Structure formats: structure tokens, C-alpha cells
Chains A and B, each alone.
Chain A
Amino acid sequence: QKEVEQDPGPLSVPEGAIVSLNCTYSNSAFQYFMWYRQYSRKGPELLMYTYSSGNKEDGRFTAQVDKSSKYISLFIRDSQPSDSATYLCAAHYTGTASKLTFGTGTRLQVTL
């Protein structure tokens, strides 16, 4: 079992829809959670970074962490064609090394 699991998709939604992207994790020691956006043939770009449980909002993006169920979510409101990309979740626990554990990514397609 992978430590961070993510549905690979693809997920196709119409423009303007609310998108929900999800990950589950198995390691209870994870305390930091991130979402990265990766366009085709580009490096991942950090979107959201949260610590422990709770919600964090940044513009159209909301990251949510539920440590009791080991569930990580990213919501995108008013989705745009420019949001079409692969979204990677990642987790990390506090230690001497910043080693991230990544999910495999969910490919999102926002259609006109």
C-alpha cells in the first residue's frame, strides 16, 4: 500500500464547475500537506500548504485536511480551462529531513 493514494483520473468538468480533488494517506505521523499543480512537461508548482487539520483558502482554491480520516482535499471554485493540469498531493512529517511523499497525481480537464 502506498503511503499517499490518489485517483489518477482523468477528471473532466465543464468550465465554472466546482472541482473536488482528493487524497488519502496511511502514515499518522504526517503533519504537513501540500498540493502542487503540474502542467504537461513542466515542473510542479506549489499551490497550497497546510499544517495539521483544518481548511486553508487562497482565491478560488481551498485545501482541507481531515486527520481523523486521513483525508486531504483540494476544492477549485469557478474552474477555468487554465486549471487543466495534473494535481499532486504530498505529505510530510516533521523531522531532520524534508522528505515529501507524493501521490501519483490526478489529471484534470476543464472543458469549455
Chain B
Amino acid sequence: DGGITQSPKYLFRKEGQNVTLSCEQNLNHDAMYWYRQDPGQGLRLIYYSQIVNDFQKGDIAEGYSVSREKKESFPLTVTSAQKNPTAFYLCASSPRQRETQYFGPGTRLLVL
């Protein structure tokens, strides 16, 4: 089955800890994205990547980092600099030259 997988489903972070959220796709899509979803605020773009080894900051990149070493994978690290990390994190991908984005099932991050 083609699709986007995110793991883990739930993640707990302690104060001062960095955590990494996984996103993998087997759709052969070139572009991948990370969004954060908070109640009443819709989806906000954190980072996006259009090609391997290249990525750009979105609207709320502070406190986050990403890498794109493989076409299939786009992990997101929530660093200790992100002071309010509790949210639902969504990964998406899209084919090059097309605008439709397809989403994974999401990871809910909670702070202990």
C-alpha cells in the first residue's frame, strides 16, 4: 500500500529534551512538509522540502529542525528551544509540479 507513515502516534517530551518525529512516504513524491495543528488555529507550516538535501523554513520554524537525506524520509526534531511544543504534528507530501498534498496520520506530542 502506498502512503505516508508517521511514528510514533504519541510522544512525550521532558523539559530540555530534543525529540524526533518520523515521517516516511512510499508515494515517490518529491516534496514533503511538516505542519503543526493547534485547536482553533488550523495548520501552520513548519518546514518543507522540495528535493533531497534541500529544505526551507515555513511560517513557524523556530525551535524545530529537519533533514532530508532520502527522498522517502523527512524527520522533524523538536528542540528544547521550542517552548510550547504540545500539538498535533502532521507530515504531508506532494508530487512535483502539482499542488495537492497528502497527509500522514499525525503524531501527538505532549510535554511531561
Interface residues of A (CB under 8 A from B): 6, 8, 32, 34, 36, 41-46, 49, 88, 92, 94, 96-100, 102-105
A88 adjacent to B43 (CB under 8 Å): yes
Nearest 3 pairs of A and B residues by beta carbon: A43-B103, A104-B42, A102-B43
Instruction: Give bound CA distance, A105 to B41, whole Å.
Output: 9
Q: Does B104 contact A (CB under 8 A)?
A: yes
A46→B100 contact, CB < 8 A: yes
| Chain B interface mostly | strand
User: Are A41 and B108 closer than 8 Å at their CB atoms?
Assistant: yes
Identify B100's interface contact among A8, A34, A103, CB under 8 A.
A34
Starting from the known contacts A6-B42, A44-B103, A98-B31, 11 additional A-B residue pairs (CB-CB under 8 Å) come to A32-B99, A43-B4, A43-B104, A49-B99, A92-B99, A94-B99, A98-B94, A99-B58, A100-B101, A102-B42, A104-B41
* Count of B interface residues, CB-CB < 8 Å: 26
Chain A residues contacting B103 (CB-CB under 8 Å) are 36, 43-46
**CB neighbors of A among B34-66 (8 A):** 40-43, 45, 48, 50, 56, 58
